[in-house]
Amino acid sequence: MKPIQIRGYCDRPNARPGESLDFFVSSPHAGSYRASLVRLIHGDRNPAGPGYREETVAAAFAGDYPARAQRTQLGGYVEVNDPDAQLAGRDGFTLHLYLWPTLPTERQGVISRWSDADQRGWALMLEDGRLTLLLGDGAGVSRVSCPKPVFPETWYSVVARYDAAAGEMAIEQRVVLNSVNSRFGPVVDLDGDCEHAGAGCAPAARAVPVVIAGLAEAETPARTWVVDNYNGKIDRPKFYPHKLGDADVARLHGGEAVAGARAEWDFSAGIGRDGIPSDRAVDASGNGFDGALVNQPDRGMTGWNWAGREEHFVHAPEQYGALWFHDDSLDDCRWERDFSFTLPADLPSGAYAVKLEQDGATDRVPFFVVPPRGKPAARIALVLPTFSYLAYANSQVMQAAQTAQAIMGVLTTLDSLDIELSTHAHYGLSTYDYHRDGRGVQYSSWRRPILNLRPDYRHEFGSVWQFPADLHLVDWLTARGFDFDVLTDHDVHAEGAALLESYAVVISPSHAEYSSWELLDAYEQYLAGGGRGMYLGANGFYWIASRHPDKPWLIEVRKGESGDQAWRARPGELFHSTTGERGGLWRHRARAPQKIWGTGYTAHGLDVSAGYVQMPDAADPRLAWIMDGIDGDAVIGDFGLVNGGAAGLEVDRVDYALGTPPNTMLLACSFGHNENALLVPEEQYFVYPGISGRDNPLVRSDIVYFTTRQGGAVFSTSSMAWCGSLSHNGYDNNVSRMTGNVLKRFASEGALEEVVEG
Partner 1 sequence: MPVVDPLCYRDKTVAWWEDFLRRRAAELAPLVTPAVLAEHLADPRGARQPHSQALRELLDFIHNQPTDGKSFAYAARPYAEYRLSVMHGRGSPPTIVAEAAYATEREAVHAVFLERLQRLGLLSGKNPGERA
Contacts with partner 1 by CB under 8 A lie at 1, 45-47, 104-105, 129, 148-152, 188-192, 396, 398-406, 409-416, 419, 422-423, 425, 436, 458, 607-608, 643-644, 674-675, 694
With residue 25 as reference, give the H or E element that holds it.
strand 20-26
* R_g of the chain computed on alpha carbons: 28
Among 740, 734, 742, which Cα is nearest to 706's?
A: 742
- Which of 312, 458 has the CB closer to partner 1? 458
- Which of 423, 684 has the CB closer to partner 1? 423
Exposure b/e, 556-565, CB count within 10 A at least 16 = b: bbbbbebbbb
- Which of 251, 424 has the CB closer to partner 1? 424
- Which of 398, 453 has the CB closer to partner 1? 398
Q: CB within 8 A of 219, min separation 6: which ones?
A: 115, 117, 118, 206, 207, 208
Do 400 and 434 meet the contact criterion of CB atoms below 8 Å apart? Answer: yes
Distance CA 575, CA 559 (A): 10
**Least CB distance from residue 190 to partner 1, whole Å?**
5
- Which of 105, 278 has the CB closer to partner 1? 105
Among 153, 155, 194, which Cα is nearest to 177's?
A: 155
- Which of 47, 750 has the CB closer to partner 1? 47
**Angle CA 621–625–631, to nearest 5:** 80
**Least CB distance from residue 132 to partner 1, whole Å?**
16
In the chain, the amino acid numbered 502 is: S
- Which of 394, 660 has the CB closer to partner 1? 394
**Least CB distance from residue 628 to partner 1, whole Å?**
31
- Which of 142, 229 has the CB closer to partner 1? 229
Distance CA 138, CA 119 (A): 7
**Least CB distance from residue 466 to partner 1, whole Å?**
18
**Least CB distance from residue 686 to partner 1, whole Å?**
21
Q: What is the DSSP string of 683-695?
A: GTSS--S--BTTT
- Which of 94, 725 has the CB closer to partner 1? 725
Do 334 and 247 meet the contact criterion of CB atoms below 8 Å apart? Answer: no
CA 524 to chain centre: 24
- Which of 266, 420 has the CB closer to partner 1? 420
- Which of 258, 417 has the CB closer to partner 1? 417
- Sheet of strand 339-342, all strands in order from the earlier edge strand to the far edge: 7-10, 20-26, 339-342
**Least CB distance from residue 130 to partner 1, whole Å?**
10
Among 714, 753, 741, which Cα is nearest to 482's?
A: 741
Among 601, 608, 602, which Cα is nearest to 463's?
A: 608
Using DSSP's 3-state secondary structure scheme, residue 154 falls into coil
Do 18 and 342 meet the contact criterion of CB atoms below 8 Å apart? Answer: yes
Strands (E), 493-618: 505-508, 514-515, 532-535, 543-547, 554-557, 599-614
SS (H, E, C) 197-265: EEECCCCCCCCCCEEECCEECCCCCCCCCEECCCCEEEEEEEEECCCCCHHHHHHHHCCCCCCCCCEEE
Task: Kindly tell me the burial class for residue 732, based on how many C-beta atoms sit within 10 Å of its own C-beta (0-12, 13-18, 19 or more).
Answer: exposed
- Which of 243, 604 has the CB closer to partner 1? 604
List residues bridging with 34 in a β-sheet: 64, 357
* Length of the chain, in residues: 758
**Least CB distance from residue 192 to partner 1, whole Å?**
7
- Which of 184, 656 has the CB closer to partner 1? 184
**Least CB distance from residue 151 to partner 1, whole Å?**
5
What count of Cα atoms within 13 Å lies in the side-chain half-sphere of residue 8?
31
Number of other CB atoms surrounding residue 470 within 10 Å: 30
